[in-house]
Each structure stands twice: as structure tokens, then as C-alpha cells.
Amino acid sequence: MFHVSRLDGKVAIGTYGGGLSLMDEATGKMETFNIPEGLGDAFVYDLIKTKNGDVWIATWSGVNRIKGGNLKDKKAWELHTVASTKGGLPNDWVYGLAEGKDGVVWLATEGGLARYEAGKWDNWNHAKGQGAPYEVVKDNLGFKNDPSKVSSHHARQKQEMGLQGIDTAYNPNYIVAINADPDGSVWVGTWGGGLAHFDGRKFTNYTTKEGLPGNHVFMLHRTPGGEMWVGTNAGMARMKGGKFETALTTTDGLFSNTVFSMDTSSDGTLWVGSFGGVSRLAKR
């Protein structure tokens, strides 16, 4: 299971190879949508419903947009890929979605950041400033294995992104987490290149040199109060005023320092999903 959220009163579950399922909590009844219904791929990573009623679904074979949000209307389903957008979507492996200011949809992909606005696609990657340079982070990468040595997909990605000379876990084009800021900017977590902030014109990158716990960023969560938490391979921290504070690790109660997900309950309690288990932390 990759994703859990709520959609129109039901629990939306994005699975690893089983498509998208919607569960009615009252009855336990499950309804599944997969490739025959219009889903781009059976692997579902994220889902959002935008203010205009559209539903967007991130998959490993592009992104679905269901205009009006009626998943049972096959005519409402669209699939956007690198090919269909003529490169506007930089990569078909889409990992995250976020609605920004004025209805802009931001997409996190394995080939960079994409934006869909008023029918137009734009994208950015490391060559345009996303993610810190290898020389900045090379001495503080939490994972040393090179994915391209065990996966033909990652080997191809590495070549496409011009990273052939790097033999460790570093690909700043690969966005693992995304969060849209109310001011219209967007934050993205990269695979080894740290945390990147894009204001619509340029990127500002944050690494362990600026206080980020780790340079692999897996989670970005904004609390109801507007605070943003950043989960990494070496714990998590709250970002405030451009600085990282309240850093938390296993010594503070985290199950693991590799933090993948987070949510805030109505009383301010933090629920943190990490490698191997979940932690419940009192309001900070």
C-alpha cells in the first residue's frame, strides 16, 4: 500500500499493483478502479481532489485526471504522460501531487518537478537548479548503494539525467515528496539532493549543511497551523523561518530515523510513519 487518504467520504487506498480502492467505512464495502476503468497503472502513489472538483491520481505510468471527480464516468478519465504532453510531464513515474495557489497542480516525478496550469505544462529539474550539487552532499549521503546497478529502469534514468559518473544513491531529479505553499511556491524533497524550494523563478536548496537532518527527503507535511515538517533518512525536523528546529530521532521516540509519512490529529498529536513502524508523538 502506497497511499491512504479520504475521497468524498470514503477511504482511498493506493496499492502496489492492485490499483485504487475506495472503502466505505460504514459497510466495509470496497470498490476498485484499475487499468480497465482508465487508471494509467496498477501502482498508485498519490491522489488529490482539487478545489474545482477534479481528481488527480499519480501512477507509475503517468498521471490520471478525472474531470469533475466522477470515477465511474469513463469519459471523464484522462491520462497524461511524457508522450501525450510532448515532454511537459518530464517523467511517467509520478510520485506526488499538490494543489497550489489559484488551482495550480504540482507534480513530483522521477525526472523533476512539473506544473499544470490552465491547460499548460511546465517542468524543472536539477539542470534548472532543483536539488543540491553532488559536491555539496557527497560526504553526507545516508544510502551508499547505487540503484542503477540493480535496476535497468534506474540505469536508464541515470543516463538520461547525466549522472553516469556518480556511483552512489544520489539523483536530485528524483522527487520523493512535495508540498505546495499558500504563497504560490512549492517545496520538494529529493533523493540525495536535499530539500528544494521553488518560488516560480528559482530554487533554493537546503541540505545537512543548513541543518536538514538528512539529504534524502521522503516526507513533507504541513500541519493545520501551517508548520512544515520534513522527514528524512536521518530523522525529521520542523522548518520555520528558513531554519530547521525541533529535530527528532529515535532518541525522541521515533520508531525509526527513516521517516516516510506523517499526519496531525485534531488535538495536535503527531503520527509518524517510518521504516518498520509508526510513532505517536505529543503536540510539539
Give the per-residue pLDDT at 145.
Answer: 79
Residues 6+ apart with CB under 8 A from 135: none
Contact 166, 159 (CB under 8 A): no
User: Residue 65 has what pLDDT?
Assistant: 98
Helix (H) or strand (E) holding 277: strand 277-281
Average per-residue pLDDT in the chain?
93
* pLDDT at 150 (0 to 100): 74
C-alpha cell belonging to residue 219: 516526507
In tens, the pLDDT along 41-58 reads: 999 999 999 999 999 999
Tell me how far apart the alpha carbons of residues 217 and 132 are, in angstroms, rounded to a whole number: 12
Q: Which has the closest alpha carbon to 110: 153, 65, 162?
A: 153
Cell of 67: 474531470
Q: In terms of C-beta density within 10 A (0-12 exposed, 13-18 middle, 19 or more buried), how is residue 111 classed?
A: buried
How many angstroms separate the CA atoms of 34 and 19, rounded? 5
**What is the 8-class DSSP label of residue 166?**
-
pLDDT per position as a tens digit, 174-187: 999 999 999 999 99
* Span 124-163, pLDDT tens digits: 999 999 999 999 999 999 887 777 777 777 777 777 777 7
Q: Amino acid identity, residue 177?
A: A
- DSSP code of residue 246: E
Residues 244/208, Cβ–Cβ less than 8 Å? no
- Which three three-digit cell numbers place residue 132? 543540491
C-alpha cell read off for 191: 533523493
Let me know: does 109 contact 72? Beta carbons within 8 Å: no
Better pLDDT: 39 or 169 = 39
What is the per-residue pLDDT for 136?
97
Q: Is pLDDT above 80 for 28?
A: yes
Distance, CA of 3 to CA of 197 (rounded, Å): 24
Is the CB of residue 151 less than 8 Å from the CB of residue 145?
A: no
| Diameter of the chain measured on Cα atoms | 54
Average of pLDDT values for 79-89?
A: 98
Q: Taking residues 74-84, what's their average pLDDT?
A: 97
pLDDT digits (tens, 9 = 90+) for 184-232: 999 999 999 999 999 999 999 999 999 999 999 999 999 888 889 999 9
Task: Give the pLDDT of residue 201.
Answer: 94
Element (H, E) at 93: none
Write phi, then psi, for 125 (nearest 5 degrees). Answer: -145, -165
Does the structure show a pLDDT above 80 at 67?
Answer: yes
30/147: higher pLDDT: 30
Q: Give residue-wise pLDDT tens across range 229-272.
A: 999 999 999 998 889 998 999 999 999 999 999 999 888 888 99
Helices (H), ranges, the chain: 134-137, 152-160
pLDDT at 164 over 80: no
**Three-class secondary structure of residue 213 per DSSP:** coil
Q: What is the per-residue pLDDT for 258?
A: 95
Domains, in order of start, for the chain: 133-281 (2.130.10.10)
Task: Report whether pLDDT(284) > 70.
Answer: no
pTM of the model: 0.93
Among all chains, which residue has been given the C-alpha cell 470498490? Answer: 31
| 228-265: burial string, b at 16+ Cβ within 10 Å, e else | bbbbbbbbbbbbeeeebeebbeeeeebbbbbbebbebe
